[in-house]
Amino acid sequence: MSRVRLPLAALSLASVSALLLAGCSQSTDASKTSGNTAASVAAATGAKPAPFSEGTVKVALVRQSGAGDYFEQWGNGAKAQAKALGIDLTVYDAQADNAKQATDLSSAINSGAQAIIVDHGFPATIQPEIDKAVKKGIKVVVYDVETSTKGVVSTKQNDASMAQAVLDVMAKEVGKGAKVGYVNVAGYAALDKRNTVWAKEVAAQGWKQQFKVGKVTDSTATDNVPLVSAALTQHSDVTGVFAPYDELAKGTVLAVQNKKLQDKVKVFGADVSNADIQNMTADGSPWVATAGTDPSAVGAAVVRTTALELAGQLNKPSVEFPAVAITQDFLREKKIENMDQLREALPALNLSQVSTADWISNVAH
């Protein structure tokens, strides 16, 4: 037997050494190809300030989750911008495991990073670590995180501008004094902000709100169909429905189609993704307008904000990314089918004017 056994044992160890070698070669590959988005880079003209003039700058990106269309594109944008700036970006992805995000953040603090970007997360979980980082003199930039720590730069998508952009379109489409419906849920910070804008717009336009329904579940789109259908049965005379979150808008679209009201009722949504574009451009879709930010551009802009903060040139505690209105007519006219085509047709999505300087090579188109 021993003739068979020893080679097997040797094989096991050999496979470990192979594993180690694979580890080495992959890590160099990863750093070369980390920013493989299709973004073109606008060359920098100015001289780099410190610390960028002194060599590679280490930045950690600590994410609650990097999964899903939106977060993947956000991450790609961030990586591409980091590469263009010569930043050595280490990405920690907790895969929605909040306990892991806490230890990830702790590792990032110890890793010698000069700045840390925190993308989402429970304040109760990450607040003490953010305090620690600031105390250690690390620059901290948060995206969509409520934090009370002084010295932290807060970045977020501007939800008020998102609602306003869609409601401006809605005001033109349905006119003053129209009967309207509303699909929204209270208790989510982003949706609450959109709600404030809605309340103002309803008053300003003299709209008569006939119903307000909505809930958020594991399958929000499907679960809102019966709610909106019931509301439409009672109030089939509305001419516009505002559903300021794409899952709510998808459910509303299905409900309007179920009730065969697509010629009379227009849906105004929010957010934009590949799936949303398909939904809006489909034949007979009542979804006539939405507003959104480009996740990839947002990720890149957060990295640029971090770079400015590191160079001591930001000089403000928060940066907001404005949303852009996108109409069904525009999508159909330009034959836009996905986010890539949308980015090309709508340069305002690129946030190329946000957090930039002459020494920053901007990855925006």
Binding of residue 149 to other proteins (CB under 8 A): no
CA torsion angle for 184, 64, 357, 56 (degrees, to 10)? -170
Residue 148: CB atoms within 10 A of its CB come to 9
Residues of span 242-261 touching other proteins by CB under 8 A: none
Count Cβ atoms within 10 A of the Cβ of residue 315 and give its class: 0-12 exposed, 13-18 middle, 19 or more buried.
exposed
- In the set 42, 48, 72, 125, which binds other proteins (CB under 8 A)? 125
> What tokens appear for 130 in the block?
């953010």
* Closest-CA residue to 106 (of 124, 88, 87, 132): 132
* Closest-CA residue to 170 (of 66, 247, 243): 243
> What tokens appear for 160 in the block?
């008020």
Please give the Cα distance from 112 to 105 (Å, whole number): 12
Stretch of 28-36, 322-330, 348-356, 357-365 lying at the interface with other proteins (CB under 8 A): 28-36
Residues near other proteins (CB under 8 A), total: 49
Stretch of 122-130, 194-202, 258-266, 326-334 lying at the interface with other proteins (CB under 8 A): 122-130
Stretch of 97-105, 205-213, 273-281, 340-348 lying at the interface with other proteins (CB under 8 A): 97-105
* Closest-CA residue to 278 (of 337, 221, 327, 356): 337
User: How large is the C-alpha radius of gyration of the chain?
Assistant: 24
Stretch of 11-19, 140-148, 201-209, 282-290 lying at the interface with other proteins (CB under 8 A): 11-19
Please give the Cα distance from 72 to 115 (Å, whole number): 21
- In the set 102, 183, 241, 249, which binds other proteins (CB under 8 A)? 102
**Residue 245 gets which letter from DSSP?**
S
Smallest distance, Å, CB 214 to other proteins? Answer: 16
Please give the Cα distance from 123 to 69 (Å, whole number): 24
Smallest distance, Å, CB 195 to other proteins? Answer: 16
Smallest distance, Å, CB 5 to other proteins? Answer: 5
Binding of residue 65 to other proteins (CB under 8 A): no
For residue 58, report the phi and psi dihedrals to the nearest 5 degrees: -95, 125
Smallest distance, Å, CB 125 to other proteins? Answer: 5
* 303: amino acid identity, one letter: V
Please give the Cα distance from 38 to 157 (Å, whole number): 23
Binding of residue 189 to other proteins (CB under 8 A): no
Q: Output 40 or 103, the one with its CB closest to other proteins.
A: 103
Please give the Cα distance from 353 to 347 (Å, whole number): 11
- In the set 38, 68, 69, 112, which binds other proteins (CB under 8 A)? 112
Binding mask 66-95 for other proteins (x = CB under 8 A): ------------------------xxxx-x
Binding of residue 122 to other proteins (CB under 8 A): yes
Binding of residue 1 to other proteins (CB under 8 A): yes
Stretch of 8-16, 156-164, 192-200, 261-269 lying at the interface with other proteins (CB under 8 A): 8-16
Binding residues (CB under 8 A) for other proteins: these are 1-10, 12-17, 19-20, 23-24, 26-27, 30-31, 34, 90-93, 95-100, 102-104, 106-107, 109-112, 122, 124-125, 127-128
